Amino acid sequence: MKNESKAGKTTAIVAYITLVGCLIAITMNMEPKNAFARFHIRQAFGIHLLFHALAIVLSFAEIVFLSIPLYLFYLVLWGYGFIQALNEKYRALPLLGSYFQKWFTFIP
């Protein structure tokens, strides 16, 4: 388990660097597949997708006063996930992490 975490650490860290980094991490994890990297790719993909979806909704709804709380929410989730990847841990994000693992099963 520890060797797998160490082998997938770089890919897991790349996943947290913007949505593009997440897409790059998906391709990095194609061969060989690494369970640790897959776990963090799903977490990061969920964070990035949720942030962009909420930002689009808030923009169209013209609710700009919620943009600062949205950024804070994003940074807290991102920071938590990033620190877990750096520490080679399998901890899911609070509230949403288990859902991200279920919803994004298409990520290999």
- Other beta carbons within 10 angstroms of residue 27's beta carbon come to 9
Tell me how far apart the terminal alpha carbons of the chain are, to the nearest angstrom.
18
pLDDT digits (tens, 9 = 90+) for 18-67: 889 999 999 999 888 899 999 999 999 999 999 999 989 988 888 878 88
- 65-103 pLDDT, tens per residue? 888 898 999 999 999 999 999 999 989 998 889 999 999
The pTM is what?
A: 0.88
Query: What residue ranges do the domains of the chain occupy?
Result: 2-103
Distance of CA 108 to the CA centre of its chain: 14
Distance CA 30, CA 86 (A): 21
